[in-house]
């Protein structure tokens, strides 16, 4: 976020929360339908200990899934850039995998691997794989032909062209894919927890919905949003530190 965005958030958020509180009180909105910000704050305090535990579990699943899926996406993207045959064989499967709803995959992974960490990490990885793969391929292929001709005129090898031209050119594309992937990783981990888990944000959301704890539902919804924003922000920061030539 830049300074203007932070200023807008600092001004607009209190106004929004105040309006929300006033509307809930003025129209006597039942808390089981829409709790007021005050009730959500109270619920947050009541579940603060378990909140950190469940959020930490989801973060770990999303982080490991993000790392695994991004690693495979970038690696296969590099291989596709070197071989058209690999890209031709791989892309139909990658597209088919992406079109399958993750809510359909999650129960299968739970049946196959149980309710432990692995299916959550795997589903998070699957959601991260496609955007990272596509952006890597696009970035490695988007080098202007004139630049490649200059390297060829100096008898550069394919590795030298990749190392000094294609890879630096692809990094902004890759980090754009990673920004998308980091949010998908959180979503994937939570959806996998819906299918079967004993901890995590998704697990706690299910319990709260069964017990009609609407304020607690809002607490964990907000927690998932904050987790996604923080992960996104970290990727943006790392990208700025690495891609210094775009400043």
Instruction: Flag whether 17 is in a domain.
Output: no
The reply to whether 172 falls in a domain is: yes
Please state, rounded to an integer, the average pLDDT across all residues of the chain: 89
If pLDDT is split at 50, 70 and 90, which confidence band does 161 have? confident
**15, part of any domain:** no
User: Number of structural domains, the chain?
Assistant: 1
Tokens of 175: 């980090």
146 domain residue, yes or no: yes
Q: Measured between alpha carbons, how far is 198 from 50 in angstroms, rounded to an integer?
A: 12
- In a domain? residue 23: no
Q: Which domain holds residue 221?
A: 49-246
pLDDT digits (tens, 9 = 90+) for 44-56: 999 988 999 999 9
Domain assignment of residue 237, yes or no: yes
- Count Cα neighbours of 205 within 13 Å in the Cβ-side half-sphere: 20
Does any domain span residue 31? Answer: no
Residues 177-203 pLDDT 10s: 999 999 999 999 999 999 888 889 999
Buried b (16+ CB within 10 A) or exposed e, 140-167: beebeeeeeeebeeeebeeeebbeebbb
Q: How many CB atoms lie within 10 A of CB 73?
A: 26
Asked if residue 145 is part of any domain, the answer here is yes
Task: Give the domain CATH number at 223.
Answer: 1.10.3720.10
- Distance from the Cα of residue 100 to its chain's centroid: 18
* pLDDT for res 68: 95
pLDDT tens digits along 26-44: 888 888 888 989 999 999 9
Q: What is the pTM of this model?
A: 0.88
């Amino acid at each position: 976020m830049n300074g203007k965005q932070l200023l807008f958030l600092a001004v607009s958020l209190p106004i929004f929360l105040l309006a929300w509180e006033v509307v809930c009180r003025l129209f006597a909105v039942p808390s089981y339908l829409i709790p007021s910000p005050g009730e959500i704050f109270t619920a947050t305090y009541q579940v603060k200990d378990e909140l950190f535990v469940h959020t930490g579990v989801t973060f770990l699943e999303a982080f490991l899934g993000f790392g695994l899926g991004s690693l495979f996406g970038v690696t296969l993207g590099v291989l596709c850039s070197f071989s058209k045959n690999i890209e031709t064989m791989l892309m139909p499967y990658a597209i088919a995998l992406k079109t399958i709803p993750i809510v359909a995959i999650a129960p299968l992974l739970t049946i196959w691997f149980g309710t432990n960490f692995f299916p959550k990490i795997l589903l998070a990885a699957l959601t991260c794989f496609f955007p990272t793969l596509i952006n890597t391929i696009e970035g490695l292929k988007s080098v202007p032909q004139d630049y490649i001709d200059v390297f060829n005129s100096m008898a550069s090898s394919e590795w030298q062209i990749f190392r000094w031209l294609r890879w630096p050119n692809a990094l902004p594309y890759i980090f754009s894919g990673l920004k998308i992937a980091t949010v998908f990783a959180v979503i994937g981990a939570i959806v996998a927890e819906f299918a079967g888990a004993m901890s995590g944000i998704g697990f706690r959301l299910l319990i709260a919905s069964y017990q009609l704890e609407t304020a607690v539902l809002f607490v964990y919804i907000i927690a998932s949003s904050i987790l996604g924003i923080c992960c996104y922000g970290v990727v943006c920061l790392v990208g700025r530190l690495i891609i210094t030539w775009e400043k």
